[in-house]
Amino acid sequence: MEHGEDPYDTVRREVEEETGYHIEVTGLLGVDSSRHTFRDGLGRAVDHHGVRFVYEGRITGGELRNEVGGSTDLAAWQDLDAVPGLVRVRMVDIALRLWRERPATGRLTDTVEEVEAEGVEAEGVE
């Protein structure tokens, strides 16, 4: 998200940059928040807080392609049944749960981050 950019505009721009598709946003599925501590290049702890807006959309144009010079390795369609066997970031599972469950609050009650806070090993630095 660019400084000053509206999240609605961000999702449309990011989908186009990363997949080649133009979309119409059809709904806000929810908001996910995560906080992790990482080490920077000098070994100092850095407190990172991410807030992610999860939207639902409909493709209105464009053609599927891989992003050039960006952060996305591959853009491809996958059967939903294949997702559990794919290497993926945790946000994919959170987004799919929001899509399936559609919580009225827009928030999952037991996200991965909350489970980690209860003692399960986390990816961050302790």
Domain ranges of the chain: 7-117
Mean pLDDT by 10 residues, the chain (126 residues): 94 95 97 93 94 96 90 87 92 95 92 50 40
Compute the distance between CA of residue 119 and CA of residue 92 in angstroms, rounded to an integer.
22
At 123 the pLDDT is 42
At 22 the pLDDT is 97
Global pTM value: 0.76
At 113 the pLDDT is 53
Top-level CATH class of 7-117? Answer: alpha beta
Are 25 and 2 in contact, with CB atoms under 8 Å apart?
Answer: no
> Which of helix, strand or coil describes residue 29?
strand
